[in-house]
Structure 1
């Protein structure tokens, strides 16, 4: 999911930069809408893969490793959130207004390991703690990145949203 969506969305970085410099905001908004449709399609295909993940794992590694469906589901949810954020992060990055993203991701990176430890020790979630923690710290991508993107496109980005 991540590899496919990254391959599709990465070329948009330079295209967004070009459109941003030319003030072609309609193209940028249209491109984001198209990427959302592509993202939905990739999520649908990935969900179908998830439904058959036990068979896929069996073909891949045989009976040597047992991967709980709940772990696969958590990774699917995390990847869905992470790739959704790419739609907006690629645009924000193309404008060079990355201060908010840099600060947020630095803080979240520092929080990640202690969060995993808390989830393991206090909630006894074991291996599931890793994708749960990734999902929690990736909420930046579904909350802040779309807001910053919208503010930049609407010309209302001020303060940290505009640096």
Structure 2
């Protein structure tokens, strides 16, 4: 029988454990990532006061098996803070074991503790398994188009 999985808050010192998961997540979604040489920026975002990035790590027997990241933002339309969950990812061999649910519950509790009015996130259109998971949580799908405009300074590693 597998050892129980745990979820804990990730800090800057956990970046070496987070980066392989982030790279695997980007490959799963067929997305580019800019992590080469950027581990310091990720650690700094986790350690800033207040943190610019919040992260949680799912582990089993000292192996990193999943993660979630989020940031607090402000909704103009709600006139209230909300949590933007940027990532929730489980390694494929660990999916379907309720560990993703444990990550989600941890993120939700954090958002509630911060006084957020909502948690918002997105998933690729083709990711039907994720969509089913989110609907089972009670989330409502809102159709939108998502855009990104890369800024040269950020792409080059600037602030």
Task: Sort the TM-score into its range (normalised by shorter chain).
Answer: under 0.3
Structure with more of its chain in strand, by fraction:
2
* TM superposition score normalised by structure 2: 0.23
TM-score (structure 1 length as normaliser):
0.23
Richer in helix (by share): 1
